[in-house]
Amino acid sequence: MKRLNPEKTAAFQFERGPVGCLLTHGFTGSPFEMRELGEYLAGKGLTVLGKPLPGHGTSPHDMLRTNWYDWYHACVENLAELNARCEKVFLCGMSMGGTLSLHVAAHYASRYNIAGVAAYAAPLYLKNPLLPVLPVAKRFMKFKPPSESDVADPVARDRQESYDRVPLECISSLLELLAHVKHDLQDITVPVLLVQSTKDNTVHPPNVRLIHKLLGSRDKTLVEVEKSYHVVTVDYDKELVKEKTYEFIRRVGNLV
């Protein structure tokens, strides 16, 4: 089982201006996949916070003891922490972190001064021929066999810090989250930026158009990239992702 580097998977925060950004990583991932984006945004004068979700950044056995309620409530707690220091907050999430960010925005936008959401390769459904056998598979095995990181850039792939296997029970919990959020999208009214790679091997690319269609937001922007695979925050299109994210935050937040 792959051992993660605790220094790379640790939480990070950068205290800058009155506008905050909560960066949330994806399923089986770690804050490392959001750190470079966080450093870029901090360089633009934004206060940034990124923390590992419960059960993440340590071992798959730890993740096995968590579910989507734990991940979601951690996002809300992180938002409350950041909101206490900022006038307005943007939620930026990678993959499941994007889905969680949308879910939080549907319920806490006014309470915690959420100004907007940037979701990168966020799933609303999963497309895998093995999903129908998941209930049976869970009776005989705890973890999905190791799979390769969905990053096109070989240098970034080697640096990635994420689990090399997935607790099957957590996949079931993820599916529950996605079904729940699908019904919440209509309640989101803050501006939303959606970023999706057309070469994503993890999240079926049409997910992003379904999310865009179901969002209650009037201000919703869709950006498609073509060089990266799934983890667009560290892959070939990462510079474009950074630029589009700050461009969105600057416009929506009325930053000078």
Binding residues for substrate: 27, 96
Residue 180 among the catalytic residues: no
Q: Active-site residue among 95, 101, 173, 197?
A: 95
Calculate the CA 251 to chain-centre distance: 21
Strand order across the beta sheet in which 192-197 lies: 12-14, 47-50, 19-24, 88-94, 114-120, 192-197, 220-225
Q: For the chain, what's the residue count?
A: 256
Q: Active-site residue among 150, 200, 235, 237?
A: 200
Residue 200 among the catalytic residues: yes
Binding residues: 27, 96
Q: Active-site residue among 197, 217, 230, 237?
A: 230
Positions marked catalytic? 95, 200, 230
